[in-house]
Structure 1
Amino acid sequence: MDETWLKRALTRMKVLGLTVTDLNRVGSKSGTLITDAERKGSSPSIDNFAKLARLLQMGVGELFDGDKPVPERLLLQGFVRGSEMWHAASKKEAKEVKLSFFDKDLVVLEIETQEMQPSYRLGDVVVGPRMVGRNLDNLIGKDVICETGDGSKYLKKLARGLRPGTYNLRSLIHGVDDLESQKISWAAPVEMIIRSPS
């Protein structure tokens, strides 16, 4: 029988000197992620599975089905130099850029409203890496998927709040009020949009 993701996780855990307790804590409020998998045969959510893979320093595919991760790379096609015009890369300048986006704690949402046009269309999927703490100031002026201190969740544009440690959330929908002076638990800048084909 093929090795399961659980067996791969436990094997990797030993290599890294981790414990079942360490793995149980990953994204599980009850702290029983691995224990539940062993006793009940339950599987973690996709988000928790990705967190587990990161803790184990494995690719998601490697943990899920044993496939060794293939480094994701993009071929650089050109450069922007001193103006808005871009110039094609010569053979000498050609290089690959490592795409580490999928190693991060990603938040993924589907847009199920037409009210956010033209920024987002019905059926679009938006993706961003979750950030907390001081890093939030780097997201001022960006569209973010976020959760406020009271647990409310939004897709809005982040702005600086009047009081230190607070942020204003600008609406992406015409006629909807902005939220002022919000505490933010975490925010994920929208870094990828998978456009709906329709």
Structure 2
Amino acid sequence: MTNNGDRLERIEALVHANAEAIAAMRDAQEHDRFDLSEARQIADSNARAIAAGAEETRQLRQSLQASIQETQHIADSNARAIAAGAEETRQLRQSLQASIQETQHIADSNARAIAAGAEETRQLRQNLRELSEESRQRLNENIADTVSMISDLGQQQAETDQRFNTLLAEARADRLRQRAAEERNRIEHEEFRVFMQDTLREIRQIWQRLAG
């Protein structure tokens, strides 16, 4: 593209030079200073310039044609690349659509699983509440039974204590009676011992009198 620009500049320079030469010829004719040999030289120079310009134009046309062909080749290559990119984009869109559908399927499956889990959790909570209520009722019944048993045990303990106290009082009374009986027996034994001693002493005295 830079060579084409240089050629265009050279052609413009030649055209400008021809215009200046023609203007000079007109000035020479107007002032009667026109020289035929100089005019021939100018004409030859113009002819060479025109021929050179034509050659430059032909070369420029060929260069432009080559540039157009190269541009067309690039455009075709770009078109093929764009078509390939479009196909790749289409395949990518299909892949994304499949991924979106799969993700939606997974999301739906997760939603169903979450809903089932929520229902199971709700049922479990309901069962736990029922079990807790039943356990609380059983606990209250057990507490009531325990309180009743403790009350019965307390009453039985009171009766047992009363019986024990009665038995203890009877045992103490029996001990007192036994001690009284033992005391009476001791007194009677002591009286019997004294009586026997007195009796033996009297018998001994009688034997002594009889012996004397």
Query: What range describes the TM-score normalised by the shorter chain of this pair?
Result: under 0.3
TM-score with structure 1 setting the length: 0.12
Which structure features the higher share of strand residues?
1
Larger-gyration structure (1/2): 2
Greater relative CO (CA pairs within 8 A, separation 6+) = 2
TM-score with structure 2 setting the length: 0.12
Which structure features the higher share of helix residues?
2
